[in-house]
Amino acid sequence: MALLLRTLGRQSVCLSKPQYSVLYRHVAPMGSTAKEEMNKFWDKNSRLNRPMSPHVTIYKWSVPMMMSITHRGTGIGLSGAISAFAVAALVLPGSYPYYLDLIHSLSVGPFLTGLAKFGIAFPVSYHTYNGIRHLGWDMGKGFKIPEVYRTGYTVIGLSVITSIALLMI
Amino acid sequence: MAAIVRLSSVCRRGIKPLFYQSALLVRPLAVPHKHLEQPNLLTARIHSSQNLKASSTSKAASLHWTAERMLSVLLLAMGPVAYFNPGPVIDYSLAAALTLHGHWGLGQVLTDYVHGDAKIKMANAALFLLSTITFTGLCYFNYNDVGICKAVALLWSK
């Protein structure tokens, strides 16, 4: 009887807050935060003038890796383009339609026009679709390797199709 | 009776040793839930025991993370709205959402690649300046010129 009570008592203490998928109990506090640890790492290694170990130069590139850096690259590129546009709006004297007509009058030709449109449409499409993929990961979905590749190829395919479709408009 | 014996064999030594196995750092023991599929993130819930004083934890980073994702979803929703309902309201909303999304995104890039207290501070100050100028420029464009939605439409009619 005593055994039963003790066991049940331990069991109820063990399963604290089962609705959360993480169990914490009797934790020991960390001495420093992640930020402090990272700063310590960089301070020490830059002080000792240590070279960085080769990583992206030696590791075999994979599709997920390339897609990830492309997501970052398109993000930086798009952000830069928006900032450049904003600065231009503040600095340039004429109005937007004026400058648009100016570009029109250059008679660039359909191929280059299409190329420019693709140059805008593709980063936007890719970043958007891959962004949705990221949000899926943030919800905990799609981490299995086959899923990563499947969703990855879907993003690439959709981006290309959407960009070409936007060209036609 | 058999169940009680089995339970007692698991809990005989208590759960405490299991937790202390992985160093003395705060580490969650993730228990997979068979019947309850948790699509959400593992949120950290630290219960410190009486004799171990846990250092104060700030939720700032976690809240920032959530805000970033909410803004991303919002920005996604703004796309169709801008297409079907162009106008000044969506123009200014887009200006704000795009600038903030870019600001936070570039902030993460800086966090990844810039190291050293002084450099981090300078980089973040420069980013703040850039984002401020960007937002100002976009609002100026919305006010004094055709506005974002119309600009995209005009550009594409080329």
Burial class (CB in 10 A: 0-12, 13-18, 19+), B125: exposed
pLDDT of residue B3: 47
pLDDT tens for A20-56 read 555 555 566 667 888 888 889 988 998 999 999 999 9
Q: For residue B4, is pLDDT > 80?
A: no
Per-residue pLDDT tens digits for B47-61: 544 444 455 678 899
Mean pLDDT calculated for residue range A98-123 = 90
Is the distance from CB of A40 to CB of B47 less than 8 angstroms?
Answer: no
Question: How close B2 gets to chain A, by Cα (Å)?
Answer: 11
d(CA B139, CA B152): 15
A142 touches chain B (CB under 8 A): no
- Is B30 in a helix, a strand, or coil? strand
- The ipTM is 0.79
Q: What pLDDT was estimated at residue B129?
A: 98
Fold of B88-157: 3 helical TM bundles of succinate and fumarate reductases (1.20.1300)
- What is the 8-class DSSP label of residue A53? P
The CA distance from A167 to A1, in Å, is 78
Q: Pick from B11, B30, B55: which is nearest to A29 by CB?
A: B55
Burial environment of residue A112 by CB neighbours within 10 A (0 to 12, 13 to 18, 19 or more):
exposed
**What's the Cα-to-Cα distance from B33 to each of A33, B38, B60, rounded to whole Å?**
29, 8, 28
- pLDDT of res. A107: 78
Work out the angle at residue B113's Cα, subtended by the Cα atoms of residues A56 and A40, and round it to the nearest 5 degrees.
Answer: 105
Domain residue ranges in chain B:
88-157
A112 touches chain B (CB under 8 A): no
Average pLDDT over residues A52-65: 94
Binding residues of B for heme b: 101
Cα-Cα end-to-end distance for chain A: 79
Least confidently predicted of A119-123, B44-48, B61-65: B44-48
Contact B145, B151 (CB under 8 A): yes
Give the predicted TM-score (pTM) of the model: 0.74
DSSP E strands in chain A: the ranges are: 22-23
Q: How far is CA A140 from the centre of its chain?
A: 15
Q: Where are the alpha helices (DSSP H) in chain B?
A: 2-11, 16-21, 60-84, 88-113, 117-144, 148-156
pLDDT in tens, B11-22: 455 444 444 444
Q: Which candidate, B108, B142, B102, places its Cα nearest to that of B123?
A: B108
Question: Which residues, in sequence order, are CB contacts of A118 under 8 Å at separation 6+?
Answer: A163, A164, A167
